[in-house]
Structure 1
Amino acid sequence: MGSLVPLQDLNLHPDPTTLSPTPIRVKPEPIDDELELIPSSPPSQPPDNSNVYSEFNRISEMFRSAFAQRMERLGDVDVLNSETGAIVPVPTEENRVSAVVVSPNRRQKRSNELVRVTNLSVEDQRHFRDIVRRTRMLYDALRIYSTSDSMWDGSGRRARGDLKAATIMRERGLWLNMDKRIVGSVPGVYIGDLFYFRMELCVVGLHGQSQAGIDYLPSSESSNGEPIATSIVVSGGYEDDEDSGDVLVYTGHGGQDKFHRMNNHQKLEGGNLALERSMHYGIEIRVIRGLKYEGSLTYKIYVYDGLYKVVESWFDVGKSGFGVYKYKLVRVEGQPQMGSTSLKFAHNLRTRPFELRPQGYLTLDLSMKKDNMPVFVFNDIDTDKEPLYYNYLSRTVFPPFVYGGGNMGCDCVTSCVSGCLCGMKNGGEIAYDHNGFLLRGKPLIFECGNYCSCPPSCRNRVSQKGLKNSLEVFRSRDTGWGVRTLELIPSGAFICEYTGVVLTREQAQLFTMNGDTLIYPGRFAEKWGEWGDLSQVYPDYVKPTYPSIPPLDFAMDVSSMRNVACYISHSTSPNVMVQFVLYDHNNILFPHLMLFAMENIPPLRELSLDYGVADEYTGKLSICN
């Protein structure tokens, strides 16, 4: 495992009579003021190894606060006793092993121990990434489920799904990183990760404040009486902020009225003092940007942009005429591209591709308008043009006999409800919420089809409408041909169908004799069982078994006709899953292979699928590329 370097003082014992805890004035976002807040009591931790770290070093050093002394001379601010000590990380040769296990039923106060996680191996990184991925998947499933019809109390107002999900997970000790306050990178959270809700930042431990823009260890909890900042949210709530990407001038909190207008001088206390202290010790600050995004389900989205260091702080007269504290932050070098930069680049790429990337495009629409959205093909690595040699197939081709038999549909006038015929075929519930997101995975989903009376706008018609997001097939040195999205894809959203020409078992045997590569739908990993799995929250939760289908015994030929899905790479920890769906026929032996997002997928991030077990004869995965 990696190393945890605790950032705390072991030897200092300041006189409590000389320290006066400073009040915390949060830096709220304008849009969040009217939101119902989660109670401030912290969550406990689950009894697994998701937050068990192995190595850490303990060090400390005495210091004197030169900046606090200087500001005290100005006479217009209140500061803590400048004689107090604080933490300074320095190298050490002594390591200690520590295991932390917290009972899920015990309410645990948020830790006051600052640690830095270092030296994670590749396996460690995968381990923590999987923990974060599963936690976020549970959060999204709870959020979507809590706003469904089954959770509506009939009062005319639907529950705030983001708050409800966070509350449930907090009560069951499912928030991450509560046993440590992490300085620097949070294991399992990648630069570019995107969040729709502030509460999700708290759930994964990236930013521990539901409204405040500065997350920090308060002076009242510090061993030496000085606050330390660990992360900030930059969302345009203060007029004096200046953001040029790698360099950020961040305005401290305080001095605003309820309408977010400056009406008083800011003070060097709470988060303001914490940022100054973090500058003094060279502590990295996690920066999360809140951005407006066209077509987003929420007012703004939040993207993690990496680590910055505070290099300068000063007291200045703001645009309003009141005094404000300003902090200049510079991004630490050597990190991946900022997520906010990728968002803007992908947005412009959809409309000005040749201007941004003059070379490398093989075509701007692989589907030749057969799909709803264009599919780019890009290769700036070699001369391979393989995707251009196949006919594009926007929908799966089934044998004619599949469409035989009865075709009954619902007689709904508007959108379908759980009690209609199609709802009953799905086990008494509609599979999607009102935004078209999958509530939970099932062995099979029946969508409304041609024999139903409901209109095309019915919420039970989702995957049959085709591609919804702009995608790009691209050449990669790591995975060969792959697929990445050019738009933000929310978790639970439909992406596209995995198409091909369906072959019966006998036909497939003839094809394999000639060495042709086929896709076997029955071998895809059943990741649908993970989406909407609430067993961690509700012990009596049972994985859906209805509608049930027998083992699939057909193959799909993609040797001459295929679509964009055939270039999605294999992964055992995928961000895309296969959900079997029927809508144009009722033969449960031959369902459509519909692909749904298992997590929020940011623009330019590669899509991945778990193709399942290898062929018992060839030892190869059932993947066409």
Structure 2
Amino acid sequence: MGSLIPFQDLNLLPDPATSPSTAATAITPALIFPKIEPKLEPFDAPTLPLQSFPQNPSPNFFVNSGQLPFVGPGSNPNDTVFSQTPEGSPEENNVYSEYYRISELFRTAFSKRMENLGNIEVLDPDSRAIVPVPEETRISNVVVSRRRDQRSSELVRVTDLTIDHVRYFRDLVRRTRMLYDALRIFSMMEEEKRREVGLITRRSRGDLRAAKLMKDRGLWLNRDKRIVGSIPGINIGDLFLFRMELCVVGLHGQAQAGIDYLPGSRSSNGEPIATSIIVSGGYEDDQDEGDVLIYTGHGGQDKFSRQCDHQKLEGGNLALERSMHYGIEVRVIRGIKYEGSVTGKVYVYDGLYKIHDSWFDVGKSGFGVYKYKLLRNEGQAEMGSAILRFAENLRVSPLTVRPVGYLCDDLSTKKENIPVFLFNDIDGDNEPMYYEYLPRTVFPLHAYNLGGNGSGCDCVAGCTDDCVCAQRNGGEFAYDQNGFLLRGKPVIFECGSFCRCPPTCRNRLTQKGLRNRFEVFRSRETGWGVRSLDLIQAGAFICEYAGVVLTREQAALFSMNGDTLIYPNRFTDRWAEWGDFSKVYSDYVRPMHPSIPPLDFAMDVSRMRNLACYMSHSSCPNVLVQFVLYDHHNLLFPRLMLFAMENIPPLRELSLDYGVADEWTGKLPICN
């Protein structure tokens, strides 16, 4: 059961300092779905009255899932826009008609240049515009406005979600982030192709392009509500590589400013309210001790981030002071330098803090600054920034940081490029040490006798888009130059021993083995599990799921003996989710080539296995299975390669969707 906690009108909210007993918020149980109560204040655009809300609202009612394109507040894509002319004599009407006709031509022609003057859009495809409307901005004959209306001023709080609701919102955020990362990687790859042929010379940022595409299609989350407190679907410790991604999921709505707040001009009582802040070391007077934070307000800095003027109690600074007065918590995101990130920096959500004090002080540069003391709310999960620092120390000297718990410093016995740790500080179980480590899947000999293994590319410096291997993959490679998966496919053909391209070829990704430091660890919740000591970026290769391949007859015999078997045909098609641009491009077609027949083999991992076999099952996984061929072309026996579906922070458990799990535990027997 969920419960609704309405965000009270600030005009009616007692001062915590004078009436602490009446400042608490009431909790009312919800019957069907966790509800959020709107705060009574004027809306930016016409909305449905409260009485017309559905009886049992779907989750999309609260958070925009992006399933339908957003045209504008109160707009209807089927409406026809007509130009009106003033009433008068026929001659005047003719003059006015000609005037409006010419004006419409120029308006549509220069609408792109006039974006900064207003919300201009062309809904009629036959408007006779001098400059045609780009096809990529049209969805079902509707051109989505380039400039969005302002974010909602409706403050709400979501609380007491049931397990099903938590799973739904988590999956919604995961899919949104996955689409953002796939768009970012794919757009950069397309731009690189155009640059090679000389079509463009100026570089653009993939994170900005992906965010703009999703915003134009109405795929940003939490735009219709301003959520105070925790965002459904976002967990403490979640890691983001770009500021724009914070805006896409609604965690922080400002692309540059460190304080996100509701302006006083849009608040019911005329006072601004802060909802989140980013602490990234941009102000010299900040003091960050984790649970206790001395945060410096914004303003008074030059273009080199040096304090050059006094700060003023306005904007975000005033919003923090007002949030302290009303006892409203704020979300804290920390920006941390990280060597493994594409930008050299990551943003980690560290939970909710309350502002306990504020004052005006003289900063280190001699200018007046506003300071705020924030204390982290108790009972929350461990800070993601603390886990990042712990993992960094762990990579340098693991035995010093954790002197107790390591059972083996390399479970692979040097069969992998990077050692695989075995860690257990819970009990005396050391079962993984009893199995022979298998770095790659073992296929039967007849698997190599089919599929035309003798053909390969003749590339010398590296594969190009018109080589034999590219054509075998449907005319495009599956990876970009940095080794990230562009789009999931039924099967990927990598270059093998029958190709002449060098080992540095981008189409030789998964056969190179591990790229990150992993450890198999003992968990009270999932039994044995797998986690990485490094940040794994979305779309990156993780490892192969290795075992001994058995035919149907062999699998039947093993099943009779009760041995553990993995059936590749039971893995869900999560590969189709990576690079699914159907919500962005109306003409998107799911990759169906190269096609693969139904798999009719099993993998025995009862005696020989690798680290992937210890990954736990999840219906909302962070790892997908992609079929790959490289040492043979037999479509009946592909390799199972694992890729990250999202940015996986260090020390977070990796999970797969096995498809069919044990009916009692919800997990495969091997995961227990």
User: If the TM-score is normalised by the length of the shorter chain, which range does it land in?
Assistant: 0.7 to 0.9
- Residues 103-158 of structure 1 show CA distances to partners (whole Å, capped at 9, x for unaligned) of 72225431111122122122211111111111111111111111113774332344
- Report whether the alignment pairs 1:190 with 2:156: no
TM-score (norm 2): 0.78
Aligned to 1:3: 4
Corresponding residue for 2:152?
Answer: 111
In the alignment, structure 1 residue 128 sits paired with structure 2 residue 128: no
Structure 1: distance between partners of 2:292 and 2:12: 36
Instruction: Say which of 457, 461, 464 aligns to 2:511.
Output: 464
Secondary structure of 2:596's aligned partner: coil
Q: Secondary structure at the match of 2:194?
A: coil
How is 1:282-293 mapped onto 2 (pairs within 5 angstroms)?
Answer: 282-293=327-338
Further displaced range: 413-422 or 320-329: 413-422
Q: Structure 2: which 5+ runs fail to align?
A: 14-32, 42-53, 73-147
* Mapped pair 1:56 → 2:37: yes
Q: Does 1:425 align with 2:406?
A: no
Displacement after TM superposition at 1:386 (Å):
0.7
CA 1:157–1:455: 2 relative to 1, 3 Å? farther
Task: Report SS of the residue matched to 2:416.
Answer: coil
Does the 8 Å CA contact 2:549/2:603 hold for their aligned counterparts?
yes
> Aligned residue for 1:153?
194
Distance in 1, Cα, partners of 2:201 & 2:420:
41
Asked if 1 retains the 8 angstrom alpha-carbon contact of 2:404 and 2:425, the reply is yes
Identify which range, 165-174 or 292-301, moves more after superposition: 292-301
- Residue 203 (str. 1) matches residue 251 (str. 2): no
Distance 1:57 1:440, change over 3 A: closer
* Number of residue pairs matched by the alignment: 550
- The reply to whether residue 487 of structure 1 matches residue 534 of structure 2 is yes
Query: Which residue identity does 1:244 align to in structure 2?
Result: E
**Native 8 Å contact 2:470 2:476 kept in 1:** yes
Instruction: Report if aligned partners of 1:190, 1:304 keep a CA contact under 8 Å in 2.
Output: yes
Unpaired runs of 5+ in structure 1?
13-51, 61-95
Q: Does the aligned pair in 2 maintain the 1:7–1:113 contact within 8 Å?
A: no
Instruction: Map residues 302-317 of structure 1 onto 2, 5 A cutoff.
Output: 302-317=347-362
Distance 1:363 1:532, change over 3 A: same
Aligned to 1:239: 284
Deviation at 1:381, TM superposition (A): 1.6
Shift of 1:589: 0.9
Q: CA deviation at 1:299?
A: 2.8
1:150–1:418 distance in 2 versus 1, CA, 3 Å: farther
User: In the alignment, which residue of structure 2 is the partner of 1:139?
Assistant: 180
Aligned with residue 448 of structure 1, among 495, 517, 538: 495
Measure how far apart 1:159 and its partner are.
3.1
CA distance in 2: counterparts of 1:175 and 1:406, whole angstroms: 46
Compute the displacement of 1:358 (Å): 2.1
> Any idea what the Cα deviations from partners look like across 1:70-106, whole Å, max 9, x if unmatched?
xxxxxxxxxxxxxxxxxxxxxxxxxx98964877222
Change (3 A) 1:181 1:498: same
1:150-183 C-alpha deviation (Å, 9 max, x unpaired):
7743323443111011101111111111111111
Query: Secondary structure at the residue paired with 2:359?
Result: strand
- In 1, the alpha carbon distance for the partners of 2:170 and 2:533 equals 23
Q: Is the 8 A contact 1:53 1:98 kept in 2?
A: no
State the 4+ residue runs in structure 1 displaced beyond 4 angstroms: 9-12, 57-60, 96-103, 619-625
Relative to structure 1, is the Cα distance of residues 270 and 624 closer, same or farther in structure 2, using a 3 angstrom cutoff? closer
CA contact (8 A) 1:558 1:624 kept: no
Out of 132-141 and 256-265, give the one that drifted further.
Answer: 256-265
Q: CA deviation at 1:478?
A: 1.5
CA gap of 1:620–1:277, structure 2 versus 1, over 3 A, is closer
CA deviations on 1:178-222 (whole Å, 9 max, x unpaired) are 111111111110000000000000000000000000000111111
SS in 2 for 1:473: strand
| Equivalence for 2:302 | 257
Comparing 549-558 with 101-110, greater Cα deviation is found at 101-110
**Is the CA contact (8 Å cut-off) linking 1:152 and 1:158 kept in structure 2?**
no
Secondary structure of residue in 1 paired with 2:174: helix
Q: Secondary structure at the match of 1:362?
A: strand
The residue number in structure 2 matching 1:557 is: 604
> Match of 1:584?
631
Aligned to 2:367: 322
Between the aligned residues of both structures, percent identity stands at 70
Aligned 8 A contact 1:146 1:159 in 2: no
Query: Amino acid of the residue matched to residue 170 of structure 1?
Result: K
SS of match in other structure, 1:5? coil
3-state SS of paired residue (1:551): coil
Structure with higher Rg: it is: 2
**Aligned AA for 1:328?**
K
Q: Secondary structure at the match of 1:200?
A: helix
* Cα distance change on mapping 1:296 and 1:150 into 2, 3 Å: closer
CA contact (8 A) 1:570 1:623 kept: no
Residue type at the aligned position of 1:581: V
State the SS of the aligned residue for 1:340: helix
TM-score when normalising by structure 1: 0.84
Distance 2:598 2:490 in 1: 11
Distance of 1:535 and 1:481 partners within structure 2: 37
Match of 1:394 in 2: 439
1:7–1:116 CA contact under 8 A, matched in 2: no
